[in-house]
Structure 1
Amino acid sequence: MNQRWKRTLLPFLAAATIAVAGCGSNEKEANPSQSNRPEEKAQAPVEITVLAPTYGESTPSDIERIQKLNEKLNVKMNITFAPSNNYQDKLNAVLATNDLADITVVWDPSNHAWANAIAQGAFWDLTPYIKDYPNLSQIPESIYNVTAINGKLFGIPRVRPTDGHEAIIIRKDWLDKLGLPVPQTTEEFTEVLEAFTKNDPDNNGKADTYGIGASGSPIPQTYLLSMFNGPFGFAPMFGFVKDDSGRLTPRIASQETRDALSYWQAQYKAGYFAPDFPVMKGTQPFDLFIQNKVGMVITNINQVIGPPDWQTELRKSVPDAVVQAIELPAAADGKRYYEKASGSFGILMINKKVPEEKLKKILEVMDYTSTQEGFLLVASGIEGKDYEVPNPKLPLVTKPSEAAAALNSQHNQWIPGYFNKYLRAESGLWSDEMNDYSHQLVDSIEKQSVLDLSLGITSVTWNEQNADWSKKINDMIVNVIIGKNTVEDWDQLIRKLQSEPAWDKIVQEVNESYSSRNNQ
């Protein structure tokens, strides 16, 4: 019982004790409604409703792990899951009808409709409360900064690592067979691309291998470009960078972006890309890697281990295969460029209709599920029953039971989670040496990665232009790389976009929102 309730109830309890002593058991029998006493009402579980996405079939809220959470925190969680493929539609519907849950998982609070709802006071401003919750306070400040709206926190971030998602996974055994060092520069990287394509690294006497596997889908495209000048994500206009005057300017108009397109166009023309780059999607480049067809891909560090376990799969046909994660090569200026992730996949927003006392209970739940213990309970279940920990040194790396695996993909969606900067660079199946190597890789990348300054920025005009402009930009990136369009065509597209009134409005809105967020 906390101090507030002690101050309230102790005088009452003292008086009740005296009354019972004076009246004996008859008083107890004459008052059958003792179940309605204030102290017992105060102990009733607080019911909390949640709307969250699911990547599988929905589960009820009374599964064992949630029951244990309820018992520990004296709550009753009532979680509604909506399929991820139409989750945004569900969000828009509940917002339009003002039928909000107590907690809503919101992927993009900068979306025009949600930004308006925030401005109209539909959600709690959590800024003054975070300091009172020790575990929420431990979430890196940089993550809160990115998720802040006009300098205020309208949600708790669903934390993710900020680094480790951009690395090269390479066939180290191919390097060794060809007598090549790990590429450190763009020139050395080009030499490896050529050797992996032309010098028969698999020793089968056929010209059937390629330097790199990549997809024409938007995210892999941006990884190719960000290697040359840093963040190139999906914030307004594909990222912003400060110019010499300190003003944010769109990265797509930079010389470095043009240089990146020229570089990759040359590599594609030379035949170093696996075929079908423009139409490949999802895991198809990874499949080619496992099939012993490509020597490099750009992806998460821990993709080495999968699932599936790339090295194990390769060794079924190539017993001496060695797969290793390495850093991106340095660009022409001698620097390595990485895109620092936001550290959050959406936020948990709290309905302003929730009373303040209930708000504090909700934050208590979030605070607990930000601990290692609370995160493992909700996201993984009961140790020994729902999951095992393959390596005691890595308690957050779990091996779920078959029955629990589907649940885990849902119940880690509605909690903040425990921040682990090495999440994309460790595995319970790796040796200690391999985990140490991967941790050091993340530490090195972390020192060099750059955050897109426009992440979390609201631009009404960008929201209006996003679908049309993004398609034009993405299509042109692919078409320039494959030689269907020239780099000069890219220049022409940028000039055309710059000539439209929306360009200046987007730049203005981004700069104003950035200044407001940073109290400048």
Structure 2
Amino acid sequence: MMRNKRGFMVCLVSLLALSVLFTGCSNNGKGASDPSSGNEQEVNALTEISMLSIFYQKEPPTKDNVILKEVEKRTNTKLDITWVTPNNFSEKVNVTLASGDLPDLMLVTDTSNAAFRNMAKQGAFWDLTDMIKEYPNLMRFPDVTFTNNTIEGKLYGVPRVRPTEGNAQPLIRTDWLEKLNLSMPKTTDDLYQVMKAFKENAPDGQKDTVGLSGYVNQSDMGQFGFIQSAFTGASGKYKVQDDKLVDTTFDPEMRNSLEWFHKAFEEKLIPQDFALLKHDQAKDLMYAGKAGIFPDKPNQIPGMLKEIKASGQESADLEWQSSLTGAYGPYASKGNGHFGMFVISKKTSEEKVKKLLQFLDYGASDEGHELANYGIEGVDFTLDNGQYTLTEQALNDPSFQFMQNIFMKYDKYANLGTGITSGKLKIEQGLIDEAGEVSIPEPISGLISETGSQMGSDYNKKIQDMKTKVMMGKSSLEDWDQFTETLKADATYMKILKEYNEAYLERESAAK
């Protein structure tokens, strides 16, 4: 566990050597480690770090949490972390930004936040563009992770790195496929036929089975987004066509996707209350054996199988679909390489900034990653031939893996998660590699439209509201056609596309 402490120990040794050099003649021969010299206290002084971070676990850790204490011990820090749930996090960030009373490290998940970007431009945060280059573990992040977090070419925080492959794509009950003598679907048409077979032939014996479980959000297609993207060939709302951005709202394949979903709704292949479902409720249909497909990351497979088998379906098995082919060819979602970043207030001294970067650099090391993901060996996990197995203590800890929200290293296969058998792991890694060959990034990631920042969410809600109505048959495809024509005639709406194009072309030109 000491393999990544070498740099830190070298630093300590250097400080001790300097201490001897400058104090050896004045302390009557006392060495630097002599407590009475005062130097040991200076060298070993804890760095106090206040922090605002998100947490996705059932509970945040207590202040005496063993893993939290171990983090402090290994990084020589004293941590004061304010943990906030996802439901309230954006509001908390906005309130904190407005107050001006910022912690040492603050997570900003929405780096397109207008208030945050304005404060960055005005010098509220440290520009880390050059400083971060001194920290080797952080510099292992892929280039896209940094590019998508810059503001006018400057990096105002440490990105929370994420793998670009292994995103929310269909998880399919392969035991059902085998039972019905079906192959893994490759196209949107194939997927529809599998959904229909799952519904009509009810492999689980339940008459109320749906083929695909999912939901929509107020402003996007939610868990159905991947299938829509397979139709449009785009990650998100915009895609590159003839070296410029186009809005997929106007793409003929967007209309075709709505027709596909409406047909699935009419034939009851998707939940009839999909517009009201939340994430957990939609996933519960899979747990209960009432759905055969649910789009999510492959790291959900072990936990989902555990829940499904607990309901009596012992032969259950799941597989992640690496891509889906639509009119524009094979499609897989490519992530933007991050989920926000930790910013450092400009009020923080440069000396402390280096301590904070050292702290996050440790978190991006192999050792820091292991501690955040698996805890302490012998207590939280066992390691056998490179395979981690979590103990019951870890599995039953409602706050376990809380440090994942802060400590992150880049790992191409990180979205596979834990608990996958070695044989299955190789298969899953192969699927990740396959996805990487066809995955498409979101072209506007890291770009800003001022009009979009002000009005975009309102338009997105209107667009999704119309999509939902068409899916449920409350509005027709002809109504959709009229709606999109209205958008094309809306100068404010079209200005958003114009501004994104200007930002995109400027970035592309700078990269050449």
Shared fold (TM-score greater than 0.5)? yes
Matching residue of 2:415:
424
Matching residue of 1:254:
251
Matching residue of 2:282:
285
Kept in 2: contact 1:51–1:104 (CA 8 A): yes
1:378-436 CA-to-partner distances (Å, cap 9, x unmatched) read 45542223x114765244x7456259733335433233x122222332542x3322111
Alignment of 1:92 onto 2:94: yes
In the superposition, relative to structure 1, how do residues 207 and 4 fare at CA in structure 2: closer, same or farther (>3 Å)? closer
1:1-48 CA-to-partner distances (Å, cap 9, x unmatched) read 63874785454134326xx26xxx9xx9xxxxx968577535422222
Looking at structure 2, the residues matched to 370 and 398 of structure 1 have their Cα atoms a distance apart, in angstroms, of: 21
Kept in 1: contact 2:305–2:317 (CA 8 A): no
Q: Which residue of the other structure, out of 216, 229, 240, is the alignment partner of 2:238?
A: 240
> 468-477 or 165-174, which moves further after superposition?
165-174
Matching residue of 2:49:
48
Matched residue type, 1:331: G
In the superposition, relative to structure 1, how do residues 116 and 293 fare at CA in structure 2: closer, same or farther (>3 Å)? same
In the superposition, relative to structure 1, how do residues 400 and 51 fare at CA in structure 2: closer, same or farther (>3 Å)? farther
Matching residue of 1:16:
26
1:49-91 CA-to-partner distances (Å, cap 9, x unmatched) read 2122345555455544344333433333222223443222222
Alignment of 1:406 onto 2:398: yes
What is the CA-CA distance between 1:370 and the residue it aligns to?
A: 0.5
Alignment of 1:215 onto 2:208: no
Alignment of 1:227 onto 2:230: yes
Matching residue of 2:324:
329
Looking at structure 2, the residues matched to 35 and 159 of structure 1 have their Cα atoms a distance apart, in angstroms, of: 44
Kept in 2: contact 1:54–1:409 (CA 8 A): no
1:105-144 CA-to-partner distances (Å, cap 9, x unmatched) read 1111210110110010111111112221111011111222
Matched residue type, 2:319: Q
Kept in 1: contact 2:261–2:471 (CA 8 A): yes
Q: Which residue of the other structure, out of 475, 481, 484, is the alignment partner of 1:491?
A: 481
What is the CA-CA distance between 1:176 and the residue it aligns to?
A: 2.7
Matching residue of 2:151:
149
> 482-491 or 104-113, which moves further after superposition?
482-491
In the superposition, relative to structure 1, how do residues 137 and 220 fare at CA in structure 2: closer, same or farther (>3 Å)? same
Looking at structure 1, the residues matched to 418 and 22 of structure 2 have their Cα atoms a distance apart, in angstroms, of: 55
Alignment of 1:106 onto 2:108: yes
* Secondary structure at the counterpart of residue 154 of structure 2: coil
Unaligned segments of structure 2, at least 5 residues: 1-9
Normalization by structure 1: what TM-score?
A: 0.85
Q: Which residue of the other structure, out of 345, 349, 357, is the alignment partner of 1:355?
A: 349
Matched residue type, 1:134: P
* Secondary structure at the counterpart of residue 242 of structure 1: strand
* Secondary structure at the counterpart of residue 411 of structure 1: helix
Matching residue of 1:366:
360
In the superposition, relative to structure 1, how do residues 425 and 494 fare at CA in structure 2: closer, same or farther (>3 Å)? same
Matching residue of 2:498:
508
In the superposition, relative to structure 1, how do residues 500 and 172 fare at CA in structure 2: closer, same or farther (>3 Å)? same
Kept in 1: contact 2:300–2:417 (CA 8 A): no
Matched residue type, 1:411: M
Matched residue type, 1:422: Y
Kept in 2: contact 1:53–1:410 (CA 8 A): no
In the superposition, relative to structure 1, how do residues 184 and 466 fare at CA in structure 2: closer, same or farther (>3 Å)? same
Looking at structure 1, the residues matched to 314 and 65 of structure 2 have their Cα atoms a distance apart, in angstroms, of: 44
Query: Which structure 2 residues correspond to residues 118-197 of structure 1 after superposition, within 5 A?
Result: 118-197=120-199
Matching residue of 2:371:
377
Matched residue type, 1:45: L
* Secondary structure at the counterpart of residue 295 of structure 1: strand
What is the CA-CA distance between 1:369 and the residue it aligns to?
A: 0.5
Matched residue type, 2:403: H
Kept in 1: contact 2:459–2:493 (CA 8 A): no
Give the number of the structure whose alpha-carbon radius of gyration is greater. Answer: 1
Kept in 2: contact 1:151–1:516 (CA 8 A): no
Matched residue type, 1:325: W
Kept in 1: contact 2:55–2:83 (CA 8 A): yes
Looking at structure 1, the residues matched to 406 and 315 of structure 2 have their Cα atoms a distance apart, in angstroms, of: 43
Kept in 1: contact 2:159–2:342 (CA 8 A): yes
* Secondary structure at the counterpart of residue 324 of structure 2: coil
Matched residue type, 2:459: W
* Secondary structure at the counterpart of residue 26 of structure 2: helix
1:268-308 CA-to-partner distances (Å, cap 9, x unmatched) read 33332233223222133332223233222222223332246
Normalization by structure 2: what TM-score?
A: 0.87
What is the CA-CA distance between 1:311 and the residue it aligns to?
A: 4.9
In the superposition, relative to structure 1, how do residues 457 and 9 fare at CA in structure 2: closer, same or farther (>3 Å)? same
Matched residue type, 1:221: F
In the superposition, relative to structure 1, how do residues 433 and 287 fare at CA in structure 2: closer, same or farther (>3 Å)? same
In the superposition, relative to structure 1, how do residues 88 and 185 fare at CA in structure 2: closer, same or farther (>3 Å)? closer
Looking at structure 2, the residues matched to 113 and 401 of structure 1 have their Cα atoms a distance apart, in angstroms, of: 42
* Secondary structure at the counterpart of residue 100 of structure 1: coil
* Secondary structure at the counterpart of residue 455 of structure 1: coil
Over the matched positions of the two proteins, sequence identity in percent amounts to: 31
Looking at structure 2, the residues matched to 332 and 60 of structure 1 have their Cα atoms a distance apart, in angstroms, of: 51
Matched residue type, 1:263: W
* Secondary structure at the counterpart of residue 164 of structure 1: coil
* Secondary structure at the counterpart of residue 283 of structure 1: helix
Looking at structure 2, the residues matched to 367 and 400 of structure 1 have their Cα atoms a distance apart, in angstroms, of: 30
In the superposition, relative to structure 1, how do residues 499 and 190 fare at CA in structure 2: closer, same or farther (>3 Å)? same
* Secondary structure at the counterpart of residue 70 of structure 1: helix
Kept in 2: contact 1:150–1:513 (CA 8 A): no
Matching residue of 1:445:
435
Unaligned segments of structure 1, at least 5 residues: 29-33, 234-238
Matching residue of 2:81:
79
Looking at structure 1, the residues matched to 460 and 14 of structure 2 have their Cα atoms a distance apart, in angstroms, of: 54
> 126-135 or 34-43, which moves further after superposition?
34-43
1:424-477 CA-to-partner distances (Å, cap 9, x unmatched) read 32542x332211111111110111111101112222221221332122111112
Looking at structure 2, the residues matched to 194 and 307 of structure 1 have their Cα atoms a distance apart, in angstroms, of: 22
Matched residue type, 1:51: L
* Secondary structure at the counterpart of residue 325 of structure 2: coil
